[in-house]
Amino acid sequence: MARDNVLKQNWELVVTKLSAQFAEGEILDLDAIIYLIGVQELGQIHRSFKKDEKLNLMHIAICKLLEPYGYYEFDYVDDQGWPHYNATEKLPHLKAGEQSVLMKEAIVNYFLQTEFIP
């Protein structure tokens, strides 16, 4: 099966499972999934977040997702439990569709690593 088809199939599996678990059947979009990964990485899953904290959660997720690609490296966890990353390589200029594919691939790899999907 072609790489694009495998990615598409795995992406649909991630969306389906997360939507069933967190959105009462509504379909989660890419940003919502990135947010959920940020919450997971922070580890403070049973609290509500302010607007600026939600943006920080998405940043945490993006750093974590792009870390295996060499764009970020984990630095430390602060005294409030928030992980911090350093940019190690400048992100390439990508068109919107290419950005979406990169993030979907990174998310699928994240959930393969965590064994959320087989």
Closest-CA residue to 21 (of 6, 7, 42, 36): 36
Q: What spatial distance separates the first Cα and last Cα of the chain, rounded to whole Å?
A: 16
27 occurs within a structural domain: yes
118 occurs within a structural domain: no
The boundaries of the domain holding residue 41 are 3-113
Tally of domains in the chain: 1
Angstrom distance (rounded) from CA 44 to CA 58: 14
Angstrom distance (rounded) from CA 63 to CA 75: 11
pLDDT in tens, 30-45: 999 999 999 999 998 8
For the chain, residues with pLDDT lower than 70 are 1-2
43 occurs within a structural domain: yes
